[in-house]
Amino acid sequence: MQDLWTLKYRASTLEELLGNEHAVDTLSELAESGNLPHLILYGPEDSGKTTASMALARKIYGSTWKNNFAYFNASDFFEQGKRYLVRDKRFVRFLGTDDPKKIYKSVIDIFKEIINEYAGMASIDADYKLIYIDNAESLSSDAQHALRRIMEKYSATCRFILSTTKPSKLIPPLRSRGLQIFFAYIPDSLMKAHLEKIACAEKLQLSGNAFDAIIYFAKGNVAKAVQTLQLVSLPKQGAEITEEAEITEEMVYETTMKFRDETVDELLSAALEGDFSKGRKLIDEMIVEKGLSGIEILEALSEALVDSGETDEAIAHLVVKISETDYLLKDAANERIQLEKLISNFS
């Protein structure tokens, strides 16, 4: 089985991170100072926040970094709920069952119990541990207030790193307790050099236009670019990509067309036909089973709409509705409700 290149070529040190020089310099200085505060890393999805946090842990702890670094995904907790919790082996002793129907505690109570225990356990070989919470914007208001109290209570034994694409959704008391560091997508020049390095390591031949096509599709997102490169390199219908075979621009476009989930097209059809029941089920599938955020669903829906064959006037009218939902999602307590409102009045 072929390794995922996004993991194979992921930066392991702060020095290897692409772009975001200011963020990298800040994290390096903090690690060397020995006085790391709580951190809030914010920026678009796949802009390097998680990779930077793991690299920071390696710099601080060396070979024992995994013993002192705990990863939690807030969207898994509060969007997938108990169905997610029973799948994660770390939580079995907190739940006492693998049947979500037998869990009588609320998700927020389970979250507080888990974070409390992880934060309260002192590190054996370091001054403190790191607790990384991804997609922190998914934390409910009550969960954020509870987290703030935990951060204060266990400041001697751990440091928290909160990662978010929407810092405005964090409560002010939580934001004020962490040093905020911004991450952005990388420039095309760095992206091309990175892709060329991978292509060389994997013995791939790409035309110049093929590189440009991948870069255009990725729009600064390293993970998306590397994933596209790996997919386009896979054998097609019994053929094999060899050192002599060149990957072309057309092959890249053919691959990127497959990135769009068919569920999005089904959702668009249901919305246009006014089939609210079907649309609601598709939204639930995309959020719960596929882990898509509301913003990702709206972006995919917008792309599908442009390719739908509807008239320009109809597309423009519906894009306005999508943009209104996009605006509402910034302050929404529940993304699903806003998405359901959109499809209920889409046609």
pLDDT greater than 90 at residue 29: yes
State the pTM of this model: 0.75
Whole-number Cα distances in Å, 135 to 112, 180, 205, 218, 290: 16, 15, 37, 21, 15
3-state secondary structure of 48: coil
pLDDT greater than 80 at residue 333: no
> Could you give the CA distance from residue 148 to residue 133 in angstroms, rounded to a whole number?
13
pLDDT greater than 80 at residue 1: no
What is the rounded average pLDDT of the residues 27-32?
Answer: 94
∠214-20-225 over CA atoms, to 5°?
A: 15
* Mean residue pLDDT across the chain: 85
Domains of the chain in start order, with CATH, are: 5-182 (3.40.50.300), 188-254 (1.10.8.60), 262-344 (1.20.272.10)
Determine what percent of the chain is predicted with pLDDT higher than 90. Answer: 40
What is the rounded average pLDDT of the residues 254-263?
Answer: 73
pLDDT greater than 50 at residue 151: yes
**Residue 102's pLDDT is what?**
59
Give the confidence band of 84 by pLDDT, cuts at 50, 70, 90.
Answer: low
> Could you give the CA distance from residue 67 to residue 129 in angstroms, rounded to a whole number?
8
**208-218 helix and 188-201 helix, angle to the nearest 10 degrees:** 120
Other CB atoms within 10 Å distance of the CB of residue 336 = 17
More confident of the two residues 199 and 2: 199
**Residue 238's pLDDT is what?**
41
> Could you give the CA distance from residue 194 to residue 18 in angstroms, rounded to a whole number?
8
**Residue 81's pLDDT is what?**
57
pLDDT greater than 60 at residue 244: no
**Residue 226's pLDDT is what?**
94
> pLDDT by residue (tens digit) across 268-311?
898 989 899 999 999 988 887 777 778 888 888 888 888 778 88
What is the rounded average pLDDT of the residues 56-62?
Answer: 94
Q: What are the two backbone dihedrals, phi and then psi, of residue 202, each rounded to the nearest 5 degrees?
A: -95, 5
> pLDDT by residue (tens digit) across 153-196?
998 889 999 999 888 889 999 999 899 999 999 999 999 999 99
Give the confidence band of 221 by pLDDT, cuts at 50, 70, 90.
Answer: very high
Give the confidence band of 222 by pLDDT, cuts at 50, 70, 90.
Answer: very high
